[in-house]
Chains A and B, each alone.
Chain A
Amino acid sequence: METSCHSPRQYPPKPGNAYLFATCLVDQFAPEAGLDTVRLLEREGIVVHFPPDQTCCGQPAYTSGYPDEARAVARRQLDLFPEPWPVVVPSGSCAAMMRHHYPKLFADDAALLAKARELSQRVFELTEFLVHVAGFKHSDSGQPCTIALHTSCHARREMGSHETSATLLAGLAKVRVEQQARSEECCGFGGTFSIREPDISAAIVSDKVDSLCATGAERVVSADCGCLFNILGRAAKLDQIAGRKTPTLPGEHIASFLWRRTSGKQA
C-alpha cells in the first residue's frame, strides 16, 4: 500500500528518552490509554517525558477550514520538544497531522517551517514506535478472546501504522483477531464532519458497527480515540434504544489492551 510518504520510513535505534504527545482526546476523555502508553514505553526501558504545556495538535481547526486558528494552536506545540528525542503519539490521526501537515501549515514562515520539518521527522504513532523502534516482544498472559481491530484512515493511509497495530495483536498468542467486512473503510467520524453532516456520518458509522458486530468479536480495539468514540458511541446508542444492559460492542484503546494482555494483570 502506498502511503503519503512513498519511500519506507527509516527508524532510529531504541532511545533512552522519548516524549509523549498524548493528544487532547486522550488527555480529557481517555486518560487511562495515556497511562497505559506510558507503562508500555517505560517497560521498554524508555524514560517518558510529558511536556505539561501540550494541548492539541490543531487538526480540528485545520480540517475545518480555519488555518489561522490551527496555526495558533500548532505553533504552541512546536516548542514543546527541544531535545532530539522521538515524539510518540497514541493516535494515527494526530501523528499524521504533526508528521505530514505541520510542514504544510507553516510553509509560509521559513523559521517555523524548519522547526516543523525537524519535528515531523521524529513523530511516531505508538504502535509504529513499539514495533519498529522499541522492538516490542512480550507474551500474552490473558485468557483466550476474540477481538476486531479498527484502524483509522490516517493510520492506514498516512502513517502506514494499520500494519503495526495488526502486527502487535498477531503477536498475542491467545487473541484471535476477526476480520470485519470492508475493514479499510472509514468509520464516518471525520472530526467536525460528524457534527456538520450528522446523517451521512451516522449512516457510515452504523454500517461500521454492523460489520464489527457481524464478526462476533468480543470487543473492538483501535489506536485512534476519535474513531473509537464514534464507533462505541453508536454501538452504545443502539444498545440503549434496544434496552440492552450489557454492551454489544465494548472497546478500548490498543495501548490499554496491549498492557492488560502482557503485564500479567488479569485480562
Chain B
Amino acid sequence: MSQMAMPDPASAFRQRSRSAVDDSAQRQNFRSAMDYLQAKRRTQFPDEQELVGLRDLGEAIRRYSLANLPRLLEQLEQNLTANGIRVHWAENAEEANAIALAIARRVEARRIVKGKSMVSEEIGFNHAMQAAGIEALESDMGEYIVQLAGETPSHIIMPAIHKTKQAIAALFVEKIPGVEYTEDVDALIQIGRRVLRRKFAEADIGLSGVNFAVAETGTLCLVENEGNGRMCTTVPRVHIAVTGIEKVVEKLEHVPPLFSLLTRSATGQAVTTYLNLISHPRQPGEKDGPEEVHLILIDNGRSQAYADAQLRTTLQCIRCGACMNHCPVYARIGGHAYGTTYPGPIGAIVSPHMLGLAATYPLAFASTLCHACVEVCPVRIPITDLLIRLRNEAQAQPGTVNASLRGSGAARTALVSAIWNAWALIYSRLGLYCLTSWFMSRGRALSPIEQGAWTRSRTPLTPAPRRLRDLLKDRRP
C-alpha cells in the first residue's frame, strides 16, 4: 500500500507533481493515451438520450444497492455460502492479507497467480505474500509489466499506461532470460504470454478482483479482456476473490447496465472479451474449476464514507477510470504523482477514507473543479461537490460539526484561516470592500493577495484605474 510521506503531504505532493510536469516525455505519453481513450469513449455514446437513460439506470442501481447495503451483504453471504463459496470479512488491509495467508498456508501454496485487482493493490497483497515467502505473480499484461519494473499501477484500468513500448522492450530484455529487443507490440505481448502460460499451470492459488457481486444468486462477476482472469479463476485448485463491500448489487439483471456503462466508459468497448460469472467451486463430475472458492469482503475505510449521506455517493463508483481519462490534472501529472493506489478524481475522493485525510488532503485540492469528471462519470457521482466537502473537512476546526472524518482539520493553518476570515469581512461589508478596492485601483497593485505563485508563469493582475461602480456613477448622474 502506498503511504504518503508525513509530516507535510502538501509539499510532498507538490514536489511529485512538479517533477511529473517537468517530465515532457511522460507528459506526452499520458496526453496521447488520454486523447485516445476520450475519443474511444465518445464513439461508444453517439446517442445523447441513450446515454442519459443508461446513466439514470446505472446511478439508480448503485444508489439502491448502497441504500440496502447491509441487507444485500447478508444475502450475498448466505447465497455464496449455499453455493459452496466461503465468505470472509476483513476490516482493513492487514486482516484481508492475514485471511489470504491463512488459506495459502492451509493448502500449502507456494505460488499465487493474480488477475487484475485494484483492491489487491489497495491492501498491498503482493508485499504481504512475498514477506511470507509466497510468490504472487501478476498475469494481466499491464500489471505484469509494472510488477517486473518494481513499480505500481499509474491508472486503475491501464496500469502500465505511463510506459512507452521502448521502455517495455528494454525491461523485457533486462528481466526475462533469452529475450531479444523488439519494439513490435504484438511480439512483446507474445513474450509476456509465454512466461505467464507456464505460471498458470504452476500456481496453487488464483487471485482475482470482483466487478459486481450479485446478492440474489451468489454470483461473482469479473470483467476482463485478456482471458487471464478466466485462467486465474479456473486453473489453480484454489480461487480467492477480493473486493470492497460496496461492490454488491441485488439482482443479476442489475449487472448488464453497469457492465455496459463500465466497458464503454473505461476503454470505449461495447463489451469486453470476457465476462466471467463465478457461482461455485468445481462440482462433482465437472472437469475443471477450482476445488475451493473464497471471497474476502474488505471494508478498509469504506464504512466511514458510508456513514455520511453525501460521502456515501463515493461508493457508487464502478472503477471505470473515465474520470481520470478526462481530468486535466491527471493528464499533466499522471497516476504516480498522486501517491495513492487510486489516482485521479476517484483517487482524490476515495483515498481519504482508506488512508485518512491527514495523509491525503492534497489530492482534494489538486483539482480545478472543471467538472469534466462529473460530466463523464457513468453513475453520476458528484465528484466536485465531494472534493469541496473534503476541502471543508481538511480545514475544519477540529471539534466542530464541520470536522467529521479521520484526519479532519489536518490542513488547517492559522494564516490561511485568517486570510479567509479577512476576505469574508471585506466582501460582506460594502464599506470595507469599497475602501479596499478603491485603494487597489488607486495603488494599481493587488496588495492583499500574494501574487508570487501567479506571476511565476503569468504577468501580474492589475486593477483597473476606475471600478465599474465608479464608471456607472459617472454615466448616470
Contacts and interface: CB of A to CB of B under 8 A. Distances in A.
A66 B458 CA distance: 26
Contacts of A64: 391, 420
B371 A200 contact: no
B433 interface: yes
A257 interface: no
Nearest to A24: B427
Given A66-B420, A67-B392, A205 B467 contact: no
B430 A55 contact: yes
A157 B472 contact: no
Contact of B472 (A30, A35, A65, A75): A35
A192 to B, nearest CB: 9
A60 to B, nearest CB: 7
B427 A56 contact: yes
B175 interface: no
Contacts of A70: 424
A230 B461 CA distance: 9
Given A69-B423, A203-B21, A31 B467 contact: yes
Interface string A23-63: 01011111110110010000000000010110110101111
Contact of A29 (B52, B371, B464): B464
Nearest to A190: B368
A198 B332 contact: no
Nearest to B463: A28
Given A31-B471, A55-B427, A200 B457 contact: no
B332 A73 contact: no
Contacts, number: 192
B190 interface: no
Interface in B425-477: 426-428, 430, 433, 437, 440-441, 450, 453-464, 466-472, 475
Nearest to A65: B391
Interface residues of B, number: 67
Nearest to B365: A196
A72 interface: yes
Contact of A204 (B51, B332, B394, B470): B332
A53 B248 CA distance: 53
Contacts of A67: 392, 402
A256 B130 CA distance: 66
Nearest to A240: B459
Contacts of A186: 328, 368, 370, 372
A63 B388 contact: yes
B34 to A, nearest CB: 10
A232 to B, nearest CB: 8
A230 B370 CA distance: 15
B52 A6 contact: yes
A9 B142 CA distance: 45
B184 interface: no
A190 B388 CA distance: 12
Contact of B468 (A34, A65, A188, A230): A34
A195 interface: yes
A63 B471 contact: no
A243 B368 CA distance: 31
A202 interface: yes
B456 A202 contact: yes
B52 A31 contact: no
A176 to B, nearest CB: 25
B368 A188 contact: yes
Interface in A117-159: 153-154, 157-158
B355 to A, nearest CB: 19
A58 B364 CA distance: 20
B368 A189 contact: yes
Interface residues of A, number: 70
Interface in B345-371: 364-371
B370 A190 contact: yes
Contacts of A75: 428
A194 B454 contact: yes
A221 interface: no
Contacts of A66: 392, 395, 417, 420, 424
B129 to A, nearest CB: 36
A11 interface: no
Interface in B37-69: 48, 51-52, 55
B14 interface: yes
B325 interface: no
A198 B458 CA distance: 10
B428 to A, nearest CB: 5
B177 to A, nearest CB: 41
A244 interface: no
B76 interface: no
Contact of B471 (A29, A35, A197): A35
A203 B332 contact: yes
Kindly list the 10 A-B residue pairs having the minimum CB-CB distance in the complex, ordered from nearest: A65-B391, A190-B368, A233-B458, A69-B424, A186-B370, A202-B457, A153-B370, A34-B468, A31-B468, A157-B371
Interface of A: 1-2, 4, 6, 22, 24, 26-32, 34-35, 38, 50, 52-53, 55-56, 58, 60-70, 72-73, 75-76, 104, 153-154, 157-158, 184-186, 188-191, 193-206, 229-230, 233-234, 236-237, 240
16 contacts: A27-B469, A31-B467, A63-B369, A65-B411, A66-B392, A69-B424, A70-B424, A153-B372, A185-B372, A191-B369, A197-B365, A198-B456, A200-B332, A202-B456, A203-B27, A205-B457
Given A26-B468, A50-B469, A229-B461, 13 more contacts: A4-B374, A52-B430, A60-B423, A63-B388, A66-B395, A75-B428, A185-B372, A193-B365, A197-B329, A198-B456, A200-B17, A200-B332, A204-B328
